[in-house]
């Protein structure tokens, strides 16, 4: 009887690509600037991140998988995943995630030739920072209930309403805005996507600081004018755009961030003495490290599996959502276990007594921000209904 095998190795070309990415990071990323752009508010860090992202763009790596005719490199998704994995591991501060992902993806699929000419180069060169305008005070998981209104006014549209939780809102140039254009249609069918200039009159921001050290925003629209050619895709078909560009895709994180934390924890335990021996010799700590290793391995394998499903025509939502559930559910537990190993000093955010310079405390606080992009419960619903085909 034949035995089914899985080949989890990379090709020599993929290995060479990984090394090229690593070399780039070694050259261009001082350890001081290894940070999460959504949890760091100092301008100096943001400015570094923008310059760093421009260098990534100059190598053609922002549009790595995009078609050549729009300035991309038409490389396979696995090359992008290898790059993301290396960037995650080093906490490389790549800005404009919404431009590279949601907005870029929608414009490439549904945008007019003029919109592609107008917006894609700005994304590739990090000249235009995009933000995501989906969530509202009464529309989070149930996004289709959104109430921000867009009403025609001649050739333009007038926008009124509010978005909330807008990450990078105070840094952004353009919002990928979902607004209701037809209040009489079923709720999924009356939504349209607009490119909204964040710097214009009628847009007001209020900060919303989070536990992890980052800032989201409430964004208010008071008769904000958007030209008619700033609608992406068809009027009233915005839901379709969002689902097609965003929803539980494979090829997300392969757990690079937790792998990095795990490696640091192992080194810390080998180098730190407690009760006359290295922490790594303590049987309880060894058990805790094993738990961490299991999480790292699960995230890694589910991440690559999601990508593989996407590449082989399987239901992408299943793989992507499974990886997401594991990552979102395990991150707080992973961070908690790290904190338990460090003991009370782990809560120090800096100074000479803070183990690992307070990095674990930061990781712990940020690990609870797992609602962004959909909560683990909603990812489970997606995996069940769209991936496994279970009834709603």
CB 190 within 8 A of CB 180: yes
202: its two tokens: 């009628």
CB 120 within 8 A of CB 104: yes
Integer-rounded Cα Rg, in Å, for the chain is: 22
Q: How many angstroms separate the CA atoms of 279 and 203, rounded?
A: 53
Applying CB under 6 A, among 56, 134, 177, 310 the residue interacting with ligand FAD is: 134
31: its two tokens: 């350890």
**Residue 295: other Cβ atoms inside 10 A:** 22
What is the closest distance, in whole angstroms, from the C-beta atom of residue 187 to ligand FAD in the complex? 14
- Long-range residue pairs from 268-276, CB within 8 A, at least 24 positions apart, any chain: 268/342, 268/355, 268/356, 269/341, 272/355
- Among candidate residues 343, 331, 328, the one with its CA nearest the CA of residue 258: 331
Applying CB under 6 A, among 60, 122, 140, 202 the residue interacting with ligand FAD is: 140
177: its two tokens: 């805005």
Region 212-271 residues binding ligand FAD, contact defined as CB under 6 A: 216
Q: What are phi and psi of 47, to 5 degrees?
A: -60, -40
314: its two tokens: 């399987």
What is the closest distance, in whole angstroms, from the C-beta atom of residue 121 to ligand FAD in the complex? 23
What is the closest distance, in whole angstroms, from the C-beta atom of residue 250 to ligand FAD in the complex? 20
- What 3-state DSSP class applies to 211? coil
**Residue 78: other Cβ atoms inside 10 A:** 19
Nearer to ligand FAD, 80 or 367 (CB): 367
- What 3-state DSSP class applies to 162? strand
Applying CB under 6 A, among 51, 73, 160, 375 the residue interacting with ligand FAD is: 375
Nearer to ligand FAD, 150 or 285 (CB): 150
Nearer to ligand FAD, 84 or 134 (CB): 134
**Residue 224: other Cβ atoms inside 10 A:** 27
Region 166-195 residues binding ligand FAD, contact defined as CB under 6 A: 166-167
Applying CB under 6 A, among 135, 192, 245, 331 the residue interacting with ligand FAD is: 135
Applying CB under 6 A, among 374, 383, 386, 387 the residue interacting with ligand FAD is: 374
Does 369 contact ligand FAD by CB under 6 A? yes
Applying CB under 6 A, among 210, 272, 280, 385 the residue interacting with ligand FAD is: 210
Applying CB under 6 A, among 165, 268, 318, 364 the residue interacting with ligand FAD is: 165
CB 242 within 8 A of CB 101: no
Does 385 contact ligand FAD by CB under 6 A? no
What is the closest distance, in whole angstroms, from the C-beta atom of residue 380 to ligand FAD in the complex? 8
Does 371 contact ligand FAD by CB under 6 A? yes
What is the closest distance, in whole angstroms, from the C-beta atom of residue 140 to ligand FAD in the complex? 2
DSSP-assigned letter for residue 101: I
What is the closest distance, in whole angstroms, from the C-beta atom of residue 205 to ligand FAD in the complex? 13
Q: How many angstroms separate the CA atoms of 240 and 238, rounded?
A: 5
Nearer to ligand FAD, 99 or 369 (CB): 369
What is the closest distance, in whole angstroms, from the C-beta atom of residue 381 to ligand FAD in the complex? 6
What is the closest distance, in whole angstroms, from the C-beta atom of residue 180 to ligand FAD in the complex? 15
Distances (CA, A) of 61 to 18, 64, 246: 13, 5, 20
Contact stretch for ligand FAD (CB under 6 A) within 63-71, 79-87, 348-356, 364-372 = 364-372
Nearer to ligand FAD, 18 or 371 (CB): 371
Contact residues: ligand FAD, CB under 6 A:
132-135, 140-141, 165-167, 210, 216, 369, 371-372, 374-375, 377-378, 381
């Amino acid at each position: 009887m034949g035995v089914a095998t899985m080949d989890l190795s990379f090709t020599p070309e993929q290995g060479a690509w990984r090394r090229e990415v690593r070399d780039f990071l070694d050259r261009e990323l001082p350890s001081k600037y290894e940070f999460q752009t959504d949890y760091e508010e100092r301008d100096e860090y943001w400015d570094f991140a923008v310059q760093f992202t421009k260098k990534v763009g100059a190598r053609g790596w922002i549009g790595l998988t995009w078609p050549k005719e729009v300035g991309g490199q038409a490389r396979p998704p696995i090359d992008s995943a290898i790059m993301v994995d290396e960037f995650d591991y080093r906490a490389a501060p790549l800005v404009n995630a919404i431009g590279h992902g949601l907005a870029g993806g929608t414009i490439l699929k549904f945008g007019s030739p003029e919109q592609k000419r107008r917006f894609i180069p700005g994304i590739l060169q990090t000249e235009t920072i995009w933000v995501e305008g989906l969530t509202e005070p009464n529309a989070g998981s149930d996004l289709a209930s959104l109430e921000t209104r867009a009403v025609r006014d001649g050739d333009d549209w007038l926008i009124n309403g509010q978005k909330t939780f807008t990450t990078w809102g105070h840094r952004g140039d353009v919002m990928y805005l979902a607004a209701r254009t037809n209040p009489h249609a079923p709720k999924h069918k009356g939504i349209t996507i607009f490119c909204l200039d964040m710097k214009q009159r009628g847009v007001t921001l209020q900060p919303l600081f989070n536990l992890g050290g980052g800032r989201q925003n409430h964004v208010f629209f008071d008769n904000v004018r958007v030209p008619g050619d700033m609608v992406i895709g068809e009027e009233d078909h915005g839901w379709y755009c969002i689902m097609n560009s965003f929803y539980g895709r494979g090829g997300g994180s392969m757990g690079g961030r937790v792998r990095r934390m795990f490696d640091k924890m192992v080194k810390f335990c080998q180098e730190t003495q407690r009760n006359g021996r290295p922490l790594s010799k303590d049987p309880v700590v060894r058990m805790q490290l094993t738990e961490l290793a299991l999480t790292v391995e699960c995230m890694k394998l589910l991440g690559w599996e999601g990508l593989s499903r996407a590449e082989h025509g399987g239901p992408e939502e299943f793989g992507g959502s499974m990886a997401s559930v594991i990552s979102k559910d395990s991150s707080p537990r992973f961070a908690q276990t790290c904190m338990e190993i460090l003991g009370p000093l782990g809560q120090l955010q800096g100074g000479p007594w803070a183990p690992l310079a307070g990095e674990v405390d930061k990781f712990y606080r940020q690990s609870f921000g797992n609602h962004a992009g959909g909560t683990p419960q909603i990812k489970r619903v997606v995996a069940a209904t769209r991936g496994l085909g279970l009834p709603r």
